[in-house]
């Protein structure tokens, strides 16, 4: 994840240096741009690892603000407002509705048309950010395919690729995306492109719960993997 971990040294070994900004560099890949980034950033802490925003934190930023805090609100907001997760935590914690055919613990059903649940409509805007994150993660994966300028594949490459596939499957099955690509029309028969896009999103949407849980696991494991490699605790083994 951009802004997560900054490290990098040899292509085949676990990274031990400091100064890079994204997941691919956390795995030890680097290039000329990344080298330039090293010089622009403050030195690493005693673990040899920095957790900084790209380009470093500005002086006015409070010390308790971490790079993760600057990034995680977007994917976190996307998940919290997801229709599937809503269905789960409404039943478990909100009791609105508690379940099918179960009486409300209040006089009338408020649903999502009044405050505070009407805020959940923000989900469509988090979707736009989530799509942008997929582009950033694809860029990370691309960089994880290069070892000192030569094409290669490491375990980290596979971890990042799997994460991208899971997150894409989750995001492309989003109900808001389904509405966006075709659901807003009453008839799609005259719009073959939208019909195809609608069918594709519907296909992912059928297993939305599965993708939600799989991607939650892979995104957590990817961050852990990069962090462990960046700290030199795990070795990112080269396969190809
Ligand atoms: S509805 Fe689940 S991600 Fe949009």
What's the pTM value of the predicted model, to 2 decimals? 0.78
* Res. 72 pLDDT band, cuts 50 70 90: very high
> How much is the average pLDDT of 36-62?
55
The kind and range of the H/E element at 150 are: strand 150-151
Output the average pLDDT for the chain: 81
Distance 172 CA to ligand 1 centre (A): 9
Pocket of ligand 1 (CB under 6 A): 82-84, 123, 127, 174-176, 208
Please say whether the beta carbons of 18 and 44 come within 8 A.
Answer: yes
pLDDT in tens, 137-185: 999 999 999 999 999 999 999 999 999 999 999 999 999 999 999 999 9
Instruction: Render pLDDT for 205-222 as a digit per residue (tens, 0 to 9).
Output: 999 999 999 999 999 999
pLDDT in tens, 220-233: 999 999 999 999 99
Residue having the nearest C-alpha atom to atom 2 of ligand 1: 82
CA of 165 to the centre of ligand 1 (A): 16
**Nearest to 226, CA basis, from 11, 14, 9, 13:** 14
Which atom belonging to ligand 1 lies closest to the Cα atom of 127?
Answer: 4
Distance in Å, CA 169 to ligand 1 centroid: 11
Measuring CA to CA, how many Å separate 63 from each of 57, 59, 180?
9, 9, 40
If phi > 0 it is left, if psi is from -120 to 50 it is alpha, else beta; for residue 149 that is: left
Q: How far apart are CA 54 and CA 3, in angstroms?
A: 5
Query: Are 42 and 50 a contacting pair, CB within 8 Å?
Result: yes
Distance (angstroms) between ligand 1 centre and the Cα of 14 equals: 36
pLDDT at 48 over 60: no
């Amino acid at each position: 994840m951009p802004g997560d971990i900054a490290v990098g040294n040899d292509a085949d070994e676990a990274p031990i240096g400091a100064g890079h900004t994204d997941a691919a560099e956390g795995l030890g890949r680097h290039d000329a741009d990344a080298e330039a980034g090293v010089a622009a950033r403050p030195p690493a802490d005693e673990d040899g690892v920095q957790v900084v925003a790209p380009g470093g934190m500005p002086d006015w930023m409070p010390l308790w603000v971490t790079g993760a805090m600057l990034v995680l609100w977007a994917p976190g907001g996307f998940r919290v407002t997801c229709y599937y997760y809503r269905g789960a935590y409404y039943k478990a914690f909100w009791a609105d509705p508690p379940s099918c055919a179960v009486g409300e613990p209040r006089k009338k059903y408020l649903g999502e048309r009044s405050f505070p649940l009407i805020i959940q409509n923000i989900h469509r805007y988090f979707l736009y950010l989530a799509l942008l994150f997929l582009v950033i993660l694809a860029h990370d994966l691309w960089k994880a395919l290069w070892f000192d300028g030569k094409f290669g594949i490491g375990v980290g490459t596979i971890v990042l690729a799997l994460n991208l596939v899971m997150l894409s499957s989750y995001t492309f099955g989003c109900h808001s995306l389904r509405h966006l690509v075709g659901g807003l029309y009453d008839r799609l028969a005259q719009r073959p492109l939208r019909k195809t896009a609608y069918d594709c999103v519907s296909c992912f949407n059928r297993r939305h719960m599965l993708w939600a849980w799989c991607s939650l696991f892979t995104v957590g494991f990817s961050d852990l993997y990069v962090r462990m490699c960046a700290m030199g605790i795990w070795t990112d083994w080269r396969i190809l």
